[in-house]
A and B are shown apart, each in its own frame.
Chain A
Amino acid sequence: MSSNRIPRIGIGGPVGSGKTMLIEQVVPILSAKGYKAGIISNDVVSKEDAERMRRNLVTERGLMPEDLVIGVATGGCPHTAVREDPSINLSVVEEMELKHDYLDLILIESGGDNITTTFSPALADYFIYIIDVTGGDKYPRKRGLGIENCDLLVINKIDIAPYVGADLKVMEHDAKIVRSSKPTVFVNSKTGQGVDAVVFHIIRDVLFEATPKSLVKN
């Protein structure tokens, strides 16, 4: 284990559920509070997600250096890359820890996968699983390792719930049953609605409300 281990958050979820956009919403809020994050994006067939985040968070907003958004190819095995054999991701994390020890946290985005996605505890300290309402309000009730085991369940695209016949109250009720005391947050990653709650959990449950390293006086 690295001696200067930086807290790591794994973000998993099905293809198109909004993993990348959630990160694009979370990072600026954390940055405004002084927290600096690095991003590792596992893509299934392209570098599109990493390039989009680099364009948005690095080029347009100037929130981080370019080498803090790293794309990783997974050989068509997104869950393997974050669970059974996270070797390449671990290597990239360790390189990031070595080069950028001022970071407060590292976000690891899984490639889009199925509902059994989980992260190796060697790779991620905290696991966010994101789904959206388009799969119907039965989604939490149907369970799956990701939904059941994650530390924070995020339900995205709540703005279109009425148009796809998804009842958010049913989803909230079922999530409570399936996940007992673990939290669930409803968001619209497009507008940022609800994202503050995700940031709240990150700061409280992952960073333990520590002062950002950039604000600590030596």
Chain B
Amino acid sequence: MMFMDTEISSEDVSILQMSDSFFPTGLYAISNGLEALSHVKKLKSKDISQFIAVYLKQVIGPSDYTALGKAYESCKKGDLTDLLNTDENLYFMRIIEETRSASVRSGNQLLKCVSYFVKNKKMLKDYQNGISTGNATGVFPVSFGVATWSLGIPKNKAGLILLYSFTVGIIGAALRLGRLQHFDGQQIIHELRPVILESVLTNIDRPISSMWQFAPGLDILQMKHETMVSKMFIT
């Protein structure tokens, strides 16, 4: 048909599904230290935008997305050993206990959810077997790489989803902490588009040996969060 759009596919629907905050991963209960920061500083919209940008540039891009990309490539090659190696590397880069356990729990549940409706992907099954036998942890970015590969989502789009979902998650936390109004939240997401894109493009083919993260101030905030008496969020 003349007006039929052939540029869309079922993978595009999967992209929407995986980027939807309704998709069950438990990440809505994670503020990545924003809650701790909100207790020591009166946050403004600009602070929250900077908080997210630092995370994207210094943590999520060079470590989480690198691990996702590597996991994705391992799935493509059918290389389970390589996949388990990435899992182990990223797990031990998570220095905050709260963050590490939350990432593992979310990753495991993500895999269980996807394997509930995707039945024919050997690497997905093998990775889950690796977790159940104690040879892997299921840390979230690696699980996300396996899940998005299983759904046929292109690697760069998987990266976009990861970084976008992180951004939305922090905005959601800021809204619930009463530090933002909803229009400001959407404006921040809009303005962070170049940062998200740059993080994907910069880290898309980063080798696992060059995976890094450096945000000591944010690490200390998360350590403080672990000992807070009153808190809404897991991290």
Contacts and interface: CB of A to CB of B under 8 A. Distances in A.
A44 B30 CA distance: 13
B233 interface: yes
A88 B108 CA distance: 10
Most buried by A among B22, B232, B233: B232
B24 A84 contact: yes
Given A75-B28, A81-B29, A87 B106 contact: yes
Say which size band chain B's interface belongs to.
Answer: 20 to 34
Nearest to A91: B105
Interface string A58-89: 00000000000000111111001100111110
Nearest to A89: B26
B28 A80 contact: yes
B109 A90 contact: yes
B179 to A, nearest CB: 12
A145 interface: no
Contacts of B109: 87-88, 90-91
A45 B234 CA distance: 10
B234 A75 contact: yes
B105 A74 contact: no
A211 interface: no
Nearest to A111: B232
B232 A45 contact: yes
B22 A75 contact: no
Nearest to B175: A76
Contacts of A46: 229-231
Interface residues of A, number: 21
Interface string B94-138: 000000001001101110110000000000000000000000000
Contact of B232 (A44, A84, A85, A87): A44
Nearest to A80: B28
Contact of A77 (B24, B29, B112, B230): B29
A47 interface: yes
Contacts of A29: none
B25 interface: yes
Nearest to A94: B108
A92 interface: yes
Given A75-B31, A75-B176, A76-B176, A91 B232 contact: no
Contacts of A74: 29, 232
Contacts of B29: 72-75, 77, 81, 88
Interface string B20-36: 00101110111100000
Query: Which 7 pairs, one residue from A and one from B, show the smallest C-beta to C-beta distance?
Result: A75-B29, A87-B26, A91-B105, A87-B109, A88-B26, A85-B24, A76-B176
15 contacts: A44-B232, A47-B231, A75-B173, A76-B176, A76-B177, A77-B29, A84-B24, A85-B22, A85-B28, A87-B110, A91-B26, A91-B105, A91-B109, A92-B105, A94-B108
Given A72-B234, A74-B232, A75-B28, 10 more contacts: A44-B232, A46-B230, A73-B232, A77-B28, A77-B29, A80-B28, A88-B29, A88-B234, A91-B105, A91-B108
